[in-house]
């Protein structure tokens, strides 16, 4: 069977889904494909480049929202779409959190997002800054979700650290609801900013 970048990437994704992040080593990937570890290096310069390709494969699964929806609804759809796609592929989710996909699929999503922000009424320079703030926040939320799933001890530690300062139980770290709340704060901030920009026009 002839190797191609696409074939290597999808085999790596499947391996990660099945056996987790640590299973996606060059040696294990090669074994999965039944080839020499070095054969992979003929298609990708290094492991990171391969994982970037796998991440973009996941970005392909994210639906681009209908352009007739309001801009804030579209941003919510895009970001929670990326988040749930990543969580469907736990092996690569950690990599996605560190390096949001920038291949063809990633750029398609970035385009939809910046379009929505421009439509919100932000100045071009602020579109980029708000874009990066939203990506940064989503990446962090994804990382917390990944860590929370794999490290119960950490969740306990966070809980212990905060419990003393507050009454009531700690909401689950990295949960969907927690993610939505921060996104809501950011979108509120953007709305306020856009209103100010519109007035100054």
Partner DNA sequence: ACCTGAACACCGTTCAAGT
Using the Cα atoms of residue 151, residue 93, residue 65 and residue 184 in order, give the sign of their dihedral.
positive
- Residue from the set 20, 42, 192, 198 that interacts with its own copies by CB under 8 A: 192
Applying CB under 8 A, which part among 13-21, 64-72, 74-82, 103-111 lies near its own copies? 103-111
Q: Nearest approach, Cβ of 144 to its own copies (angstroms)?
A: 6
Decide whether 29 or 109 has the Cβ nearer to DNA.
29
Q: Which of these ranges, 2-10, 12-20, 32-40, 120-128, lies near its own copies under the rule CB under 8 A?
A: 120-128
Binds its own copies (CB under 8 A): choice among 167, 199, 200, 201: 167
Residue 42: CB minimum distance to its own copies, A: 20
* Nearest distance in Å: CB 10, DNA: 18
Site for its own copies, rule CB under 8 A = 98-99, 102, 106-107, 110-111, 114-115, 124-133, 136-137, 139-141, 143-144, 147, 154, 157-158, 161-162, 164-168, 170-171, 173, 177-178, 181-182, 184-190, 192-193
């Amino acid at each position: 069977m002839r190797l191609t970048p696409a074939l290597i990437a999808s085999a790596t994704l499947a391996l990660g889904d099945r056996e987790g992040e640590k299973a996606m080593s060059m040696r294990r990937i090669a074994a999965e494909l039944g080839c020499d570890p070095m054969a992979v290096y003929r298609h990708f310069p290094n492991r990171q480049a391969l994982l970037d390709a796998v991440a973009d494969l996941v970005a392909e699964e994210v639906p681009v929202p209908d352009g007739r929806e309001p801009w804030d609804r579209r941003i919510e759809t895009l970001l929670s779409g990326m988040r749930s796609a990543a969580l469907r592929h736990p092996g690569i989710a950690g990599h996605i959190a560190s390096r949001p996909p920038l291949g063809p699929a990633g750029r398609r999503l970035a385009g939809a997002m910046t379009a929505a922000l421009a439509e919100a009424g932000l100045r071009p320079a602020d579109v980029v800054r708000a874009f990066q703030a939203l990506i940064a926040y989503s990446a962090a939320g994804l990382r917390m979700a990944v860590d929370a799933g794999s490290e119960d001890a950490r969740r306990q530690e966070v809980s212990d650290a905060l419990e003393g300062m507050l009454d009531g139980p700690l909401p689950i770290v990295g949960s969907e609801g927690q993610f939505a709340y921060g996104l809501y704060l950011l979108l509120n901030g953007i709305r306020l900013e856009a209103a100010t920009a519109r007035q100054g026009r």
